């Protein structure tokens, strides 16, 4: 499952053809993994945020509004990273990308309750 579909990714990148679908899906997968790693989400936390049918945290660590806010931040990070990787697929500056992701994901990295 993913917070962003291939169709949404292609719309974000303004792609009208299916020619780059495999590349876009690959970059989307990489963008999601990188953002999840930078945000320091555990597998359990990611599973909760990735499942859009869940609006409450069964462990009680996050409120419904925090879950929604974190999903929105993650989607922004996924879109940013996807766009960056697509535009710079020949030669990307991964250090700069990581630093920007840290800024985008600050609320998740530092602001969430710790269990």
Q: Which of 41, 50, 49, 51 is nearest to 101 (CA)?
A: 41
pLDDT score at 54: 76
Q: Give the pTM.
A: 0.82
- pLDDT beyond 80 at 33: yes
Q: Residues 57-68: what's their mean pLDDT?
A: 76
What b/e sequence results for 51-63 when a residue is b if at least 16 CB atoms lie within 10 Å of its CB, and e otherwise?
A: eeeeeebeeeebe
Q: Which of 57, 55, 50 is nearest to 74 (CA)?
A: 50
- pLDDT beyond 50 at 114: no
- pLDDT beyond 80 at 10: yes
**Domain limits, the chain:** 6-111
């Amino acid at each position: 499952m993913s917070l962003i579909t291939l169709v949404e990714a292609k719309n974000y990148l303004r792609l009208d053809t299916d020619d780059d679908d495999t590349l876009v899906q690959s970059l989307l997968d990489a963008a999601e993994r990188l953002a999840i790693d930078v945000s320091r989400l555990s597998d359990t936390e990611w599973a909760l945020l990735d499942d859009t049918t869940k609006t409450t945290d069964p462990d009680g660590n996050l409120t419904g509004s925090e879950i929604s806010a974190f999903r929105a931040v993650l989607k922004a990070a996924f879109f940013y990273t996807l766009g960056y990787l697509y535009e710079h697929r020949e030669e990307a500056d991964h250090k700069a990308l990581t630093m920007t992701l840290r800024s985008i994901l600050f609320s998740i990295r530092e602001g969430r309750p710790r269990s």
